[in-house]
Amino acid sequence: MSRRAAPFDLLWELYGDDEMAEVFSAEQTVEAWVRVEGALAGAQAELGVVPSDRAGAIERVCADPATVDLDALWGSARNVGYPILGLVRQLDAALPVELRGSVHFGATTQDIMDSGLALQLDRAMSLLEQRLRGLGDALGALVTEHAATVMPARTHGQQAVPTTLGAKLGVYLDEVGRHRRRLLAARDDVRRVSLFGAGGTSAALGPQAAHVRTLVADRLGLVDAVVPWHVARDSIVHLAGIVVGASTTAARLAREVTDLSRTEIGEIGESVGHHRGASSTMPQKANPITSESIIGFAVAARTALPGLSRAAEAGHERAAGEWQAEWVLLPAVFANASSALLLAADLASSLAVYPDRMRENLDADGGLVMGEHAMISLAPVLGREHAHDVVYEMALESRRRREPFASVLGAWLADQPALPAIDVTPGDRSVGDALLVSRAAVDGWTDTLTTDPRPWKDLA
C-alpha cells in the first residue's frame, strides 16, 4: 500500500521552504532511523556485544538506500501503529541468513525514532540558522543605508516623534540576533541520542549499555545522554518556542511593511513587478503579498506550539497519544517558521523605501510630531509640567485652526521675549540617538556572527 495523499496546502505550494520540507520528508526520516540502526550495530560490535561480521553486514545494508521498501514499511506501520518493527524486519531480511538476528539489539522503537529526530533537528536548526542569518544580513544592510533617513515614529498608531528608518529596523535586527543566539544555545539540548530500552533502564542493552550509547552518539555526531527522555519533551517545547519566536519577529516585520505601505502612508513598500500582488477585479492594486504570506506562515507555526506543550504532559515511561501529536506538530513548526523567515529575508533585501514620502508625512499633522521637542526646549524656563500644558494648548489650537504648529508656536513666542526661539522643523537634529541605535544594532549583529562559541559543522 503506497503512502497516503496529503491535504493540499496552498500557502505551502506558493512559498514553502523546500529545503526544510526535505529535512522532514518521509525519505529523510527513514534514512535517519536507518542511520541509527547502523550506528547501534557498529557500536555494539566495538564492544563485542554483536559479532563484527554481523555488524558489518548490518551497516552495509543500512547504507544502501534500496534496502527499505517504503510502501511496504508504511503498510506494516499502519498495522503495528509504529514503523520500526517493519523497518527492522526489512533490514534483517536483507542480510544473509547466517548473519541475521542482531538488528536493533536491545533498543526500543522510540530509541530509534528519537535519535533519528535528533539528527533531523540538528539539520533543521542549521537551516533555520541560515534563514536567520539571511534576514539579519538583509536588515543590517537596510539599517546601515537608512541610519539617517528621517521618518515619523508611531506609538498607538499615531505619529509620536521623529526617528529614522535605520533606528526602527535596528530593533528588528537586534531581535534576529537574539533569536540566533537562543537557537545556537538550544542546539545541544535537543540533539541528544536516545538509547534506553523499553522502560528507560537500558536493561536489554546489557552491562555495557552506557558505553554503547556513548559510542552511538559519537558515530551519529549527537550529544550523549545518561538520563532517558522518552517522555521528557521539555527541550523540544523550548526549541519550538525559540523557532516560533523567530517567526513572530518575521511576522512583526511583515506587519510593519503592510502598515507603512498603506496608500495613506506610503513610506515603504514591497518590490514591484508585472502583476505582482495584482487584484482580479481592481487593476490598480499591488497587494503586499510577501508580507501577507509571512504572517500566514508565522500564525501557522505559532498555533502548533500549544499542541506541543500539551503533548509534553505525557506520563509514566512512555506517551499514550501525545507522542503522535508531536509527529505532526514539530515538523509544522519548523517548516512554517523557516518559510516565514525565508520570505522575510527576501522582503528586507528588496524593500522599496520612499524618503520623500517620509518627510512629507512628518508634516501630516501640521508638524505636531515636534511637540515633545518644543516642550523639552521650554522646560528649563517654564518647568516640565507647565511646558507640557503650554504645548498641549498649542496642539489643540493648531488642529482647530488647521494651522502649522510652527506658526502657532512662533506667534506665542513673539509674546514671550524672555524665551529663546525654537526651531520645530523636523530634521536630522531631532532624532535623538537614532544614529547610535542604528550603529549599535549593526555592530551587535556583526558581533553575534563572529563570537558564537559553538558553531556546528555545516554552519559556514
Q: How far apart are CA 248 and CA 396, in angstroms?
A: 38
Max Cα–Cα distance, the chain, nearest Å: 107
- Calculated CA dihedral for residues 399, 260, 298, 272, nearest 10 degrees: 160
Grid cell, residue 361, equals 508625512
Residue 448 has which C-alpha cell?
553575534
Tell me what pLDDT residue 290 has: 95
Alpha-carbon span 118 to 131, nearest angstrom: 20
Cell of 75: 503498510
For the stretch 147-197, pLDDT in tens is: 999 999 999 999 999 999 999 999 999 999 999 999 999 999 999 999 999
Number of helices (H), then strands (E), belonging to the chain: the values are: 17, 4
Catalytic residue set? 279, 318
Collapsed DSSP state (helix, strand, coil) of residue 203: helix
The helix/strand/coil state of 88 is helix
- Tell me if 165 sits within 8 A of 358, measured CB to CB: yes
CA 140 – CA 441 distance, rounded (Å): 8
* Domains of the chain and any CATH numbers: 109-195+226-360+434-450 (1.20.200.10), 363-425 (1.10.40.30)
CA atoms within 13 A on the CB side of 197: 17
pLDDT attached to residue 420: 87
154 has which bridge partners?
A: 159
Note the pLDDT of residue 285: 77
pLDDT of residue 452: 57
Q: What's the length of the chain?
A: 460
Listed as ranges, residues in the chain with pLDDT below 70 are 1-2, 278, 451-460
For 153, the enclosing helix (H) or strand (E) is strand 150-155
Give the Cα separation of 52 and 55 in Å (integer): 5
What is the torsion angle, in degrees rounded to the nearest 10, for the CA atoms of residue 191, residue 195, residue 200 and residue 204? 180
pLDDT value, residue 277: 73
Contacting residues for 242 by C-beta, under 8 A, at least 6 apart: 179, 182, 183, 186
Specify whether the CB–CB gap between 438 and 143 falls below 8 A.
yes
The Cα–Cα gap between 277 and 402 comes to 37
Coil/strand/helix, residue 272: coil
Instruction: List, for residues 49-90, the tens digit of each pLDDT value.
Output: 999 999 999 999 999 999 999 999 999 999 999 999 999 999
